[in-house]
Every structure is written in C-alpha cells, then in structure tokens.
Amino acid sequence: MGHWWYRNIVEPGKLPLLLALLSFVMSFLVTRVITRLIRAGRGPFKNVTPGGLHIHHVVPGVILVIIGGFGAVGSGRYGFGAYASAVIFGLGAGLVLDEFALILHLDDVYWSEQGRKSVELVVITAAVVALVIGGFVPFGVNDLSAQERESRGLVVMNGATNFFLALVALWKGKARTALFGVVVPFVALVGAIRLARPGSPYAKRFYANRPRARAKAGLRAFHHDRRWAGPRRRFENFIGGTPDPDHPVPLEGPPRH
C-alpha cells in the first residue's frame, strides 16, 4: 500500500489534488447539513445577515478560492504550503459550487428546482477529479517499468475513447449521460449508440427527413424520463434537500447587472 501510495499519489504530485477533493466534498456535505438545519429551524445555526443583508456562503467561498488558488500557484505541488493551499481551495470551491445555481440564475433559487443544478455539478466535479486522481496517468512518475507503462497507457487510451463517446452522447442531447459517461465506463457508450433525444443537434441533422426515427426517439425519451424521473428526484432530494414547492419560478428576461 505504501509503495502504491508513493508511486501514484505522492511522486506524481497528486496529493494536493486529493486533499482538495476531500475538503471539497466535506465542505459541500457540511454546508448542505447546516443549510438544511437552518431551513428546518433546528440547531444553533442561523443565516448571516449583518445590517439586514443576507450573506450567501458563496461569498466566503470566493475568498477561500482566491487565497487557495494563489497559494497553490506560488507553492508548487509539494510541501506544506501546497497541501494547505489545496485544502483552502477545496473548502472554497465546495461553498461556491453549492450555490452555482444562484450564480447562474442571478436569483436565490437554492431551494427550488433550479437549485438542483448545484447538486448535479458538485457530484460531477467530484467524480471527474476522482477520475484524474485514480487514473494512474504516467505524468510525473519516474522509472516506469514496461508493465506499468503498458497498463497506464491503456488507461489513457480508454479515457480518450470514453471522452469521445461522451461528446457523441452530448451531441445527441444527453447531457447527464455524457457528463457521467466521462467517469463511468460504458455509460457514454450507451448514450452514443442509442437514439438521440428530440430537439438535439444530432436529431435535427439526421432525423429531419426520417419521421419514423423522430417518432421513435420521442417515444423513447418519454418512457425514459417517466421511468427515471422518480429515482433521480429522490437521489437529488437525499443529497440537496427537497425543493420548496412555493418557490416562484423566475421568468426569463433581460440580463441584470
């Protein structure tokens, strides 16, 4: 275990990335627990409202990201400074991405359906970073044996193929399948070979003169959404909390400055 840890984590300089990932996940989970306690009116936690102004946790998150980011740039990949900067950056990134939907919509949609985008982005970000850490890519590793070089080369080739299939799935209008397919084997392959979703760039290009294909794609999308909407909603509710049904859906309008 010690040899594996040194060869694949310490020697390639991945320890700061691992620390950033752990602090990122911890920051998100702790933040979600606290916000759910505040929402339920339980525990000692309260919203920060100095002078009546609600300070969202994305604000300290941005500050931590700036400190950790500049610290990481100035400290390299080894030493206490690099490790401390990675932890600070991860904590800040967790706070920022937890309110990604607020930044995207420029509205407080934390407990609305739109707020689910934050949960999805956090899960995908953690999965992608974990893939990079566990990919065993031979960058920064010295004196690779022939067997190590071959196995790591296969990982790189498989990763590139999977990424290409994910792009095809995205072209077919399957954004979630493409994103999770980047990190989960065979998911991108399924998304790439199955029918495209109606309205996707692929469907507009290749189904325009194929009414049967359009009808079949529409029917398949309907059954897929009906089948998986419930499990996906329960998973998102478990992680991020149940959306507020009384939260107004923001109307589309001119950008606010």
Could you read off the pLDDT of 183-223 as tens digits, one per residue? 676 888 888 998 999 988 999 889 988 988 889 998 988 88
In a domain? residue 22: yes
Q: Which amino acid does the sequence have at 86?
A: A
DSSP string, 20-70: HHHHHHHHHHHHHHHHHHHHHT-SS-----GGG----THHHHHHHHHHHHH
pLDDT tens, position by position, 132-166: 776 544 444 444 555 655 565 666 677 778 778 88
Question: Three-state SS for 257?
Answer: coil
Q: Kindly state the tokens that stand for 222.
A: 């309907």
In a domain? residue 59: yes
In a domain? residue 241: no
Of 184, 144, 146, 138, the C-alpha closest to 163 is 184
Q: What pTM was estimated for this model as a whole?
A: 0.66
In a domain? residue 164: no
In a domain? residue 212: no
What's the domain count of the chain? 1
In a domain? residue 139: no
Cα(230)–Cα(248) distance, integer angstroms = 22
**Any idea which residue has 């059954």 for tokens?**
223
Q: Which amino acid does the sequence have at 219?
A: L
In a domain? residue 252: no
In a domain? residue 245: no
Q: Tell me the CA end-to-end span of the chain in Å, nearest whole number.
A: 53
Which domain range does residue 13 map to?
1-134
